[in-house]
Structure 1
Amino acid sequence: MSRANINLNKLRFVDLFAGIGGMRFAFENAARTLEIETECVFSSEIDAEARWVYEQNFACQPYGDIRQVGRLPEHDILLAGFPCQSFSYAGKKEGFGDTRGTLFFEIMRLVDTYQPQAFIFENVRGLTTHDCGKTLETIRNEIQQRGYSYDAFLLNSSNFGLPQNRVRIYIIGLLNAAPKYSLVSDVGCRDSHSYSNTEQLSLFQNSRSPIRVLDILEEAPDRKYDCSETFVFALKKVLNNDLERLHGLRLIDYRGGNSIHSWELGLRGECTAEEIELMNLFILKRRNKAFGKEQDGKLLTQEQIATFYSHPHLESILNSLIEKKYLRKIKDFYKPVAGNFSFEVYKFLDPQKISVTLVASDANRLGIYHNERVRRITPREAARLQGFPDSFELHPQDDRAYYQLGNSVSINVVEAVAKEAISQTLVWGKNCFEAEYPSSGILQSFSRSRLPSRFN
């Protein structure tokens, strides 16, 4: 193991699990605002489509599989938004039992080949609670036993000038240092509807006026993003032609609340008023503890259904719903057939609020009612939700662009985190240099021009 000697005139960095380059873009922005020159000496990304986008924007193509990398070149700071699927609430949450989870240890293996002065990791919020906190504790131990400080922050993109309710964990480590950060963990609003236009305070963050979804919308996007006439007609029918009611509306088949369901839209066949009433009661009542401990997945018998929906022709109604494929019968039990992915849009954003979290699996099915058009958000609008400027080149295929943006990072948040990490890295690098060369005057002009005033 060798230890990095930090170059205070130019920060060399490594970009692992680079994706389309979100962390690199944000890091370079942060350094530029601090008037620090940077050089990316190595990047790695296994996905060929993401590597193509990366190359278009940074004029260099990342290396492929990180597991085939023997050692890293000399560098000062390491960036890694390592794969989150194994820790995500949306995944199976297998953590280090999942092959993807072990990629964290690949990072640590490469850290050992050339010990950088600092690193920044990004991951999903689920990492904090996985395996009752044991997974994160393992990560902390792996970091600290190598002589790095450990600081973790839960930050919401909506607190950093982006209209997106996206909580991620950011881990910063500095070698042989005890840094003091101005960042404060703040998960922000409970959901996109309760957003109150607050924002994270940071000494390194420029003041940004809170923005809404409306502020990132394109005025006249291509008509290919419009929802089909059949879908819009069905929506109008349910909403009595008042499409303003789409703002904040979900299209989902296993929850109630501010939602529209496939049986109300008649997507698999028109339903009678009795059938709609039964289905709405079914998805509500099957969550009752009286029918079992499963929170969402309880199957009910006809006798159980009759306790909350008494109708002389109940069996006939149930059979009709089975024929239309809104219900399925398993032995003597009835189960709703979830058709969420059959909806052209699963969530309509409220222009006056913030967006739900952009995720790879369904970023292409976020909708908006804007300028009297019912449509999906565009890839460029998805990019703006993540803080990418319009000059950033996206994948030309929409489906790939949506997927890559859902997997990427929020630029504004990483930039704020990077400013803190860079500043603290320079502080500790300056201290170490002066301790080794106490009579040198090399750093006098540098420290005044490069470091924030509170560090001088």
Structure 2
Amino acid sequence: MHASALLFAAALTSISLDPPAMKNPVGISIGAVRLRRQHAHSFQKILQDELKQRVRWRGVDKDDPEVLTLHLPAVAAASLDDEHPELTRFLRENKGEYLPGVRKKCPTLALKPPPSPPPSPPSKKAKKDDDGSSGGFRFVELFAGIGGFRLGLERPDVGGKCVLANEIDPHAASIYRENFADSDSCLAEGDVLDLSGDNLPKFDMLVGGFPCQPFSNRGEQKGLDDDRGQLYREMARILKEGQPKCFIFENVPGLVTMDGGSRTGRVKGERPRFTPGAVFERILKTMRSCGYNVDWQVLNSRKFLPQMRERVYIIGTRIDLGPGCEKFNWDSLILKDLKEEETATVRNIMEPKDSPAVIASELTPAQLAKVKSVHSKRGTILSEDGRIDPDCKAPTLISRYHTLSSFSTKFIFEEADGTPCRRPRYLTPRECTRLMGFPEDFIVPTHEDAKATNKYYHAIGNAVCPPLISVLGMELMNCIR
């Protein structure tokens, strides 16, 4: 077995310990406490009293019958990093020990080594990577979801190869495995906090869409006060530890304007202009502190797909590689002149009206009554405000699309051939998949499996659009070659 394969097999399977007593200036605080079993409950109680919130261990190692290793939530680790007086006193008096930087062992993060490629002589015209290998680039996909980044970057004309993907949601991970035959050798299912940077495989690009819920205009917008809002720091940690050549991150445009930012109003024929708020500026500063030139832009997938989907894309190139980002041609994305068939309307992606999936997606009378009630309470009319126009772009597909109580959910009233629907219906899983630009051979659940279908709607609404990622990836790699 190649040495690189052995290194990869060891990745993520062991506890990783950062230098003792050293705070992680980039990533989320992480650590564990070694404490005799009889003191564990008392320590949990004092944590809850001092932090004024419920505390659950991220995990408990029971290797020693007398002593437990208690993996701390981030807020508790941060308090001990800051030498919280009551917590440190308790540990001192009870002969406990705080272990900063310790990451939890997680069986689902243990990966099989990737198959070694057969040796082949490099082409004389092939470009060389830093390690002497020819062609292509390797990337790590964090918050992988169902693999939208991977689909975009592994297109033959882009040339990427996923060497590690991480996803915590078991349903999304299940969809990922079903659609990528080699996922056992690259998908690490588990918490990003438990990914050890020490043994990451060699990679050229880091990609991911860190959780958007804290920044979305459709939510409470707790921002950095939401634990999920801090997960960008784990992207920064992997950047700092892996030092790839470049990165692409994605999120909702609400991230840009949060806490003092703004955007201009919608004017036909003009792109909105964004002014970053304090939260976004802080995130950009963190990425730059890892040694990268950083740039960003809000792009709309309507240029690529039959869907209106604004997202902010943050790109970065390692400083030692030169200007990088300064050469990135955003105009190639903003002003791209696509053929008409490539910017199809909803009607072009609809399934036949007699498809079993279409029939199954029709609202029941009880569901229709509930949806009408939602609109009535808002003073809106379902047939007008809840309608998807088949001859236009679809509104943004969201993770809560298949939710009756969501006002954001829009319905099909007219089939592809112009036939009026008996009752309004949801977009089918396949139609949603097409709206996002996923390939036709991407596996979606059958209409008979209601639970899997609900989970799929959530996952596809959280995904990125592969066609847009493809163009971003090609342009970014051209900047650093």
Deviations 1:211-244 (A, max 9, x none): 1110110013222222235677999xx9xxxxxx
Q: Aligned to 1:70, which of 182, 188, 196? A: 196
Seen in structure 2, the aligned counterparts of structure 1 residues 44 and 233 have a Cα distance that, compared at 3 Å, is closer
Aligned residue in 2 for 1:11: 137
1:183 equivalenced with 2:330 (yes/no): yes
Q: Is the 8 A contact 1:182 1:202 kept in 2?
A: no
Aligned residue in 2 for 1:58: 180
Aligned residue in 1 for 2:479: 424
Aligned residue in 2 for 1:446: none
Q: Is the 8 A contact 2:163 2:201 kept in 1?
A: yes
Q: Is the 8 A contact 2:429 2:445 kept in 1?
A: no
Gaps of 5+ in 1: 186-198, 239-249, 262-344, 428-456
Counting aligned pairs with the same residue, the percent is: 33
Seen in structure 2, the aligned counterparts of structure 1 residues 231 and 99 have a Cα distance that, compared at 3 Å, is closer
TM-superposed CA distance for 1:376, in Å, is 1.8
Distance 1:382 1:148 in 2: 35
Superposition pairs for residues 211-290 of structure 1, below 5 Å?
Answer: 211-219=344-352, 220-222=354-356, 223-229=359-365, 252-256=375-379, 259-260=381-382
- Describe the SS at the equivalent of 2:437: coil
TM-score normalised by structure 1 residue count: 0.62
Aligned residue in 2 for 1:434: none
Seen in structure 2, the aligned counterparts of structure 1 residues 108 and 352 have a Cα distance that, compared at 3 Å, is same
Aligned residue in 2 for 1:410: 465
Aligned residue in 2 for 1:353: 392
Seen in structure 2, the aligned counterparts of structure 1 residues 233 and 88 have a Cα distance that, compared at 3 Å, is closer
Aligned residue in 2 for 1:201: 335
Q: Aligned partner of 2:285: which letter?
A: N
Distance 2:444 2:191 in 1: 22
Q: Is the 8 A contact 1:251 1:347 kept in 2?
A: no
Q: Aligned to 1:372, which of 416, 420, 425? A: 420
TM-superposed CA distance for 1:153, in Å, is 1.1
TM-score normalised by structure 2 residue count: 0.59
TM-superposed CA distance for 1:119, in Å, is 0.5
Q: Aligned to 1:131, which of 226, 242, 259? A: 259
Seen in structure 2, the aligned counterparts of structure 1 residues 150 and 8 have a Cα distance that, compared at 3 Å, is farther
Aligned residue in 2 for 1:387: 437
Q: Aligned partner of 1:252: which letter?
A: H
Seen in structure 2, the aligned counterparts of structure 1 residues 209 and 50 have a Cα distance that, compared at 3 Å, is closer
Seen in structure 2, the aligned counterparts of structure 1 residues 229 and 171 have a Cα distance that, compared at 3 Å, is same
TM-superposed CA distance for 1:251, in Å, is 6.2
1:400 equivalenced with 2:400 (yes/no): no
TM-superposed CA distance for 1:147, in Å, is 2.1
Aligned residue in 2 for 1:39: 161
Deviations 1:315-341 (A, max 9, x none): xxxxxxxxxxxxxxxxxxxxxxxxxxx
Distance 1:424 1:353 in 2: 35
Aligned residue in 2 for 1:436: none
Distance 2:392 2:374 in 1: 18
TM-superposed CA distance for 1:70, in Å, is 1.1
The count of residues paired between Structure 1 and Structure 2 equals 308
Q: Aligned partner of 1:28: which letter?
A: E
Q: Is the 8 A contact 1:363 1:406 kept in 2?
A: no
- Describe the SS at the equivalent of 1:131: coil
Q: Is the 8 A contact 2:398 2:461 kept in 1?
A: yes
Seen in structure 2, the aligned counterparts of structure 1 residues 173 and 356 have a Cα distance that, compared at 3 Å, is same
- Describe the SS at the equivalent of 2:292: coil
Q: Aligned to 2:286, which of 131, 136, 142? A: 142
Gaps of 5+ in 2: 1-17, 19-128, 261-276, 404-408, 447-451
**Higher relative CO (CA 8 A, sep ≥ 6), structure 1 or 2?**
1
